[in-house]
Amino acid sequence: MNIEIKEPFWKYKALGVNEGAFKGKDYVDVWCSYKDKKGNYVYPHLYRVSKDLAREYRLFQRKSASLRIVPVADMEVIQENYKEQVENWTTTNDSTTVTITWSNVGGESK
């Protein structure tokens, strides 16, 4: 499961990763849905954050969540232009089968 982060921590060029997301896991995959004025994703990739990496960074309490403020530059990119590719998925349902077509950057269907 990928975790959506709605807005980065601008001051730190970082994303806040909820500590609870690591429960029983060594890592989490995150993406940021924030877009600039032109509609472009500010951080367009899918990133992997290990529990060990997250624990190296500041803990921030926001409402009932404890967030680790992890700089995007330190995260592992596991899929480039993640959200653009996901938005190119098309789904059809004829009540017996569901077909998902994903047109990737090269124009091929998988």
Tell the residue number behind the tokens 């990737």, with chain if given. 104
d(CA 3, CA 102): 20
Question: How many other CB atoms sit within 10 Å of the CB of residue 78?
Answer: 14
| Local structure of 22: helix, strand or coil | helix
Q: pTM for this one? A: 0.75
d(CA 2, CA 49): 11
Summarised one tens digit per residue, pLDDT across range 19-76 is 999 999 999 999 999 999 999 999 999 999 999 999 999 999 988 889 999 999 999 9
Amino acid at 99: T
